[in-house]
Structure 1
Amino acid sequence: MVLLEFAMAPGGKGESVSEYVARILDVIDRSGLPYQLTPMGTILEGDWDEVMGVVTACFKALEPDCSRIGMNLKVDYRAGPAGRLKSKTEKIEQRLGRKLST
């Protein structure tokens, strides 16, 4: 199972790119994959082909009117079942004995 964290945005579109970020998040939300939105990116959970397919679809959503696209991508693969998107945080909270701000 893969956890993939990424941020993608067009270059040369001014200071605010929320219009483009919203376009990407629409693709992510419609994908059906578990995800977690953060202020600096999005974390997806799924099989390699699934999460990379979503990243590709996000790129394709920007490509028609964005001549430059920047992306940061981080991947963690671990064999086994799904559910790590939440369980990794829950494990740390359990060790600390308290809820964390997530």
Structure 2
Amino acid sequence: MALMEISIIPLGTGSTSLGRYVAEVKRYLEERGIPHTLTDMGTIIEGEVEDLFRIARELHEIPFKAGAKRVYTALKIDDRRDKEVHLGTKVESVKRYLSS
């Protein structure tokens, strides 16, 4: 299992607000039951690496379907092979260090 952080930024939309695009991304993920966490700077998604790349491609298309003429998408993938990682495990690890 891997984690992907994705930020999708439509350009040239005539507005600096991105909320409606973010809402469409969240709706897409929820309708498909894809584990994710929405943050102020992007969305973190959990899945197999092959699936994450496919999801990233599909999410990248959402602003185009909403009329954007240009889309900038930034990805970060953490593919750890020595043990399972899931949404929240990194935060829990930091909390354990803070409490000791």
**Under a length normalisation based on structure 2, what TM-score does the superposition of the two structures give?**
0.84
Encode CA deviations 1:57-92: one digit per residue, 9 max, x unaligned.
112222232110011211111113342x21211111
- TM-score of the two chains, using structure 1 as the length reference: 0.83
| In 2: Cα distance, 1:56 partner to 1:26 partner | 16
Question: Distance between the aligned counterparts of 1:19 and 1:34, measured in 2?
Answer: 20
DSSP-derived class of the 2:12 partner: coil
Q: Which residue number corresponds to residue 4 of structure 1?
A: 4
Find the residue that maps to 1:16 and give its secondary structure: coil
Counterpart of 2:64 in structure 1: which amino acid? E
* Amino acid corresponding to residue 33 of structure 1 in structure 2: I
Q: Percent identity?
A: 29
Q: Match of 1:5, SS?
A: strand
Give RMSD over aligned pairs.
Answer: 1.7
1:21 aligns with 2:22: yes
For structure 2, which runs of at least 5 residues remain unmatched after alignment? none
- Considering Cα pairs closer than 8 Å and 6+ residues apart, tell me whether 1 or 2 has the greater RCO: 2
Give aligned pairs, total.
Answer: 97
Partner of 1:48: 49
Q: Distance in 1 between matches of 2:94 and 2:44?
A: 18
8 A contact 1:27–1:54 mirrored in 2: no
**Where does the alignment leave 5 or more consecutive residues of structure 1 unmatched?**
none
Q: Which 10-residue stretch deviates more, 46-55 or 25-34?
A: 25-34
- Once residues 93 and 66 of structure 1 are traced to their aligned partners in structure 2, the CA distance between those partners, rounded to angstroms, is 40
